[in-house]
Amino acid sequence: MPALDVRRERIVVETDRYRVEGDITLPQEGYRSRLSDYLNRPDQEFLILLNVELNALDGSGRDWGTPVLMLARQHIRLVVPLLQSSVVMEQENS
Total domain count, the chain? 1
The CATH number given to whatever domain includes residue 73 is 2.30.30.100
**Confidence tier at 94 by pLDDT (50, 70, 90):** low
Of the candidates 14, 39, 42, the residue with the CA atom closest to the CA atom of residue 24: 39
Question: pLDDT tens across 46-75, in order?
Answer: 999 999 999 999 999 899 999 999 999 999
- Give the domain range for residue 59: 3-93
* Neighbour-count burial of 47, counting CB atoms closer than 10 A to its CB (0-12 exposed, 13-18 middle, 19+ buried): buried
Residue 91 has pLDDT above 80, yes or no: no
Q: What integer best gives the mean pLDDT of the chain?
A: 85
Residue 1 has pLDDT above 50, yes or no: no
User: Considering the entire predicted model, what is its pTM?
Assistant: 0.77
